[in-house]
Structure 1
Amino acid sequence: MKPAVRLATIATASAVWLAVSGVSVLAQNAPGQVEFRDERTGKVWTPETVSQDNRAVPSAPMSVQDKAFDPRSQLAVVEGVTVQRPRANLMGVLPVTAGPSVPIVTLDGASLQAVPGERWLTVIYVTNNSANIVDTVVGCMFTNADRKVEDTRVIVPPAGPGERWGMPVYGPRVDLFVDRVTCRVISPT
């Protein structure tokens, strides 16, 4: 196959893939420069605005502020223990499974997110595996490079037998760098 035919075949296949995936070809800006428009957001993408992380080309020069930022050198800490009583949402009722090998309460789902301009956030899910109503306390530690940034206690609303509750837990302001949140059940033990 000749190089010109191969290039035309690749370009045609790329245009078909882009049309199927919800991105359309706009126009050629400069010779060989293609722009793509995302139909959902309206954003125009060019090779300059798309991530170049997997290329061997050196990245753009870093600013002095970017070079100076070292998240591991952060010393800021929120003093004390923050107590939260979040509004929880009942996610459903599950079969009661508590026994010798199953804990009374299980905790899962602690994933870290940043709410721009506000606070770090994690959403946790607490499930009562027993046939009794339980009052649960969860401890969440927001850390940076394994150093404490904020320690939080979450007072979970009373959970009935088999109830699974989901609730937000807020951490420090986003101007304090956090790279991990670890949550654990403090009570019942």
Structure 2
Amino acid sequence: MEEHEAAAASGTPGVDGDGAERGAAATALKVVAAVDASEESLRALSWALDNIVRCHPDATLVVVHAQHAVDHFVYPVAAHGLAYAPSSAVDSMRKAQEENSRRIVARALDMCKERRVGATAAIVEGDAKEAICQAVEQMGAGLLVLGSRGLGKIKRAFLGSVSDYLSHHACCPVLVVKPTKAQAK
């Protein structure tokens, strides 16, 4: 019993304060990596694979991609006096979006396979900021990893920043992998 007490006192994962072992699922780190078509997001995934997942062999990795809802692309048409988009156009947009999302996720999962890391994927729909924030909460993530384009303050103010939003609103710690000075140029 002394080993368990020493482990509990030292903060060893898998042992609670009473010296009783907890299940592996309770101590495994769930890392969520948000990816899009940008090289920055894939660089962040690569960094997470090399520096987090490799150091935590019991960690689980989920690759998340947020795609805009199709109506995001239809409403601008309504602003120009067209009240609707033909259903064939909406279906075509939806199929193109789904194919694009599958390619993005497949590329990310290929990176994981190259490093012999098992990962699952999820495609969520909606504005990236809110969709990723909700997904992270629903998944019970222990860490969210995402890339940053390295925008300056002015561009970030006009374009918005998913990483800024998530660092303030996500329910778990957020790791933003910034580009190096050479990559930001």
Q: Same fold (TM over 0.5)?
A: no
For normalisation by structure 1, the TM-score amounts to 0.21
> RCO greater where, 1 or 2, for CA within 8 Å and sep 6 or more?
2
Compare the two structures and name the one with the higher helix fraction.
2
